[in-house]
Amino acid sequence: MYYVKKKSQYNLLSSSMESLGSRATSASPYSSENTSSSAVPTPSPYSQPNSTFEGLSPTPAIPSNTDYPGPHAFQVSFQQSSTAKSATWTYSPLLKKLYCQIAKTCPIQIKLSSSPPHGSIIRAMPIYKKAEHVTEVVKRCPNHELGRDFNDGQVAPASHLI
């Protein structure tokens, strides 16, 4: 009796699945009868983005802090400042650190061995060097954050570095 009951349950389940399957295939939006010109077009992988930011890859959660010149031999360098007293920036190649005065420009030199693909973009982001702090946002020091000299009339919060 137990075997028959199981078999009848199986037959009932099987017939239910068949009826669902026939309904699902007839009403499927992917069937050939439902395809129309109003479907969302698939962009070509070779097409250029319409906007500068449309084709950007997302920024990773943990930024890389290792040098990688890549196929174009990418290099970033800084001019040596002329005199120590009037310098608005100083770069230490030994420490690989840039020291800048607040609200002063710092020219950056970017060198490539060959032209990058059309539409390439360079992103700059300050990060902490130590691995345990690399996910923390780099902020202004408290002295500059609280100072009114460079914060009045600014849209960004005072703690923002860039």
Amino acid at 154: Q
Q: How far is CA 113 from CA 72, 81, 116, in A?
A: 5, 25, 9
Element housing 4 (H / E): helix 2-26
DSSP secondary structure code for residue 34 in this structure? G
Residue by residue, DSSP assigns 95-113 as TTEEEE-TT----EEEE-S
**Are 133 and 63 a contacting pair, CB within 8 Å?**
no
> Does the annotation flag 106 for ligand binding?
no
CA-to-CA distance for 17 and 24, rounded, in angstroms?
Answer: 10
> Does the annotation flag 160 for ligand binding?
no
Residue list for the binding site for Zn(2+): 141, 144
Residue list for the binding site: 141, 144
